[in-house]
A and B are shown apart, each in its own frame.
Chain A
Amino acid sequence: MIRMALWLVGALLLGGIVHLVTVLLLPRMATQDAYARVSAIAPVNAVVPVPSPTPEKAIMPFMDPAFAVSACRYDLSHGPLKFSVPISQAYTSVSFYTSSDVAYYAINDRAAGRRVIELDLMTARQRAELPQNEDITAADRLIVASPTTTGLIMIRALVTETAGTVSARNALAAAQCRPQ
């Protein structure tokens, strides 16, 4: 009887380990996560429009229908990336996600403070290799360090009847993300 109880305790402990390992491994094993879904429509290092969600079809669940969205799937293995998007009259934001869907940085038009959101995206290593003593380290150059070599940039602009749908869509269409 005692032996049986010991087996059971051991089994429960092992079950706890199985639980923790599966939770930790799941983000790496997932084949239908947001990164995979966007990868299906987005070529590397280019901005593509993401279709607006409809009741019949949406690339991801819980997309906000008030926004027009474009995506850039980046790969920094061949060097840093230059990203820019002009700001429309409407709210515009740029969010950065790693290849495992972790949001590590986001900026909006007001925080950027000018007519264009412009930044350099690079890995921590590429950033460390930047020359230190040149003028380019001036404050007007925004550098974002990506924790992973691949990931997603999501550009969102508010499109409502009042807030200039056309200018918001034009701004998204003019967004660029390309190797330096």
Chain B
Amino acid sequence: MRLLFGSLFALAVAAAVGLGATWIALTRGTAYGGVTIGAWTAWPKNGTPGIDPYARAMIARTGDLPVGSGDGVAFYARTDDGGQPLDGRCDVVVSGITPQARFWTLTLYDTEGRLVANSVQRQGFTSQEIIRKADGSFDITVGPRARPGNWLPTGGVEKYLLALRLYDTPIGVATRNGRDVPMPAITRRACL
């Protein structure tokens, strides 16, 4: 009787712990081998056969196709430089320069990876479209209301994330961190 109770208890705990850990690992986005620079994180290994099992399980669940390492690398930002989650009701300025690449794209997604509807049908910028300052740096205002210059509309969504994809770039698996890789700063301004 004791044995039966014990084994049932053990199996129940094992199932709860095991499945719970899997669920948390796959929904919280805790993949290994990330390169974090400021608010931006990339997983260059996800675009290679060396992708780790957690990342594989995660992309199998979300239905995402990682950018191949011979193609480019994708950086994601969920917060600003101060660690505050990106809020579509606030103005956020993405400013500075990007690492060396043939070109890049900046795209705004909701937390599920969908594009966000807005009045001007603009979901992102490419490096060829933006207006730059005399020294080559740029400012992109991400916010709910129209702004002069480079304005990326948020559509007023509560939470969003930014993807900066560098194509044909030396940044990749061998990149360790920020020193020689300048990523644009993400600064929060006023909120609605």
Contact = CB atoms under 8 A, between A and B. Distances in A.
A97 B65 contact: yes
A16 to B, nearest CB: 7
A148 to B, nearest CB: 11
Main secondary structure of the interface of B (DSSP, over half): mixed
B60 interface: yes
Nearest to B7: A7
Contacts of A26: 22, 26, 56-57, 60-61
Given A8-B13, A11-B13, A37-B63, A162 B114 contact: no
Given A58-B114, A100-B56, A103-B47, A11 B10 contact: yes
Interface string B81-121: 00000000000000000000011010101001111110000
Interface stretch (B34-42, B132-140, B161-169, B177-185): B161-169
Given A18-B17, A106-B47, A66 B114 contact: no
Given A18-B15, A23-B22, A30-B61, A110 B168 contact: yes
B10 A61 contact: no
Given A24-B53, A65-B123, A161-B129, A15 B70 contact: no
Contacts of A95: 65, 67-68, 70-71
B70 to A, nearest CB: 3
B114 A103 contact: no
B112 to A, nearest CB: 6
B64 A60 contact: yes
Contacts of B69: 103, 106
Interface string A138-170: 000000000100001010101011110000000
A66 B57 contact: no
B171 interface: no
B14 A18 contact: yes
Contact of A110 (B56, B102, B123): B102
A30 B71 contact: no
Given A11-B17, A14-B13, A66-B105, 12 more contacts: A8-B13, A11-B13, A17-B18, A18-B17, A30-B60, A37-B63, A93-B68, A101-B56, A101-B65, A105-B68, A110-B102, A163-B128
